Amino acid sequence: MEFLRETLERQYGAETAGEIFAGLSCNRAVTLRANLLKSSAEEIAQALTSAGIEFKNAVWSREAFILKNARESAVWELPEYKEGKIYLQSLSSMLPPIVLNPQACEDILDMAAAPGGKTTQIAAISANKAHVTACERNKIRAEKLKFNLARQGANSVYVMVQDARRLDNFLSFDKILLDAPCSGSGTLNLSGGKLPEGFTEELVSKSAALQLSLLKKAAGLLKKGGELVYSTCSVLESENENNALKILDSGFEIVPISFEGMETIPCLPSKISGALCVKPAELYEGFFVCKMRKVQAGGKIKC
């Protein structure tokens, strides 16, 4: 626990670090997304009301539902869930696809796609009209991804069971989502007063190295003028800003994140102006999102 506390206090100061610890100790509300490929926000609202489930919508998305008096088990019993009209997903996890803003006919790469929450959301936002390539190197996780894609009706997605770092260099994409594997520092459950056994300094270090290697690959696969959204469920700058800053000198610029209702999201300070770092809270997991545009080809990425 001391490692995390010292790291957060060094990065944010003692007061903000205390707020993060409080957020990581919350019993977070259940949230879900209406799948627009099969349903509508209105239909899901009616289904929840009929089941006696109270809710409110996120200010920034009518499709995002926050449940007031139910846990996941109640959602699992709904016919709409079984039919793929609902996807259980954290509010923070819904943000990267919104920031990516996928459009019809764009070639989009999701570099670490399983289990498919963001992938299916990309398909839904683009009404299945974007051409999405979803990578997952683990065969078991890839099968889960395929299951969720089929259940959600995301038929515009092509799954590659492959490490995205090994994609052929002749491929190119208009937009890339890199929701990178990370330490999960923003999603830790500290209600028991101690860190999970697997959360260590070594995990953070290994995660940062993996993220940078994926970012380097993304930089090479993105078309000039294309946009890269880099996200993690971490609040540590070694996994977030430090990695993003390393590719800016290779021909990228920051695209400031802005969307209606963003001001309602609890945020942490970031040393990248225009990035979004979500503070863990009752409704939100800790999350980092940064959007970058490739303005020129080539350039060497700093190590």
Among all residues, which ones are annotated catalytic?
233
Q: Where are the beta strands (DSSP E) in 51-171?
A: 55-58, 61-67, 86-88, 107-110, 131-135, 157-160
Residues 6 or more apart whose CB falls under 8 angstroms from that of 42 comprise none
Burial zone of 238 (CB within 10 Å; 0-12 exposed, 13-18 middle, 19+ buried): middle
Length of the chain: 303
Q: For 194, which DSSP code?
A: S
Residues 6 or more apart whose CB falls under 8 angstroms from that of 94 comprise 33, 58, 61, 64, 117, 121
How, if at all, do strands 131-135 and 31-34 pair? unpaired
Q: How far apart are CA 228 and CA 243, in angstroms?
A: 13
Question: Residues 136, 142: contact at Cβ < 8 Å?
Answer: yes
Task: Give the residues across from 293 on adjacent strands.
Answer: 227, 253
| Phi, psi at 12, each rounded to 5° | -115, -15
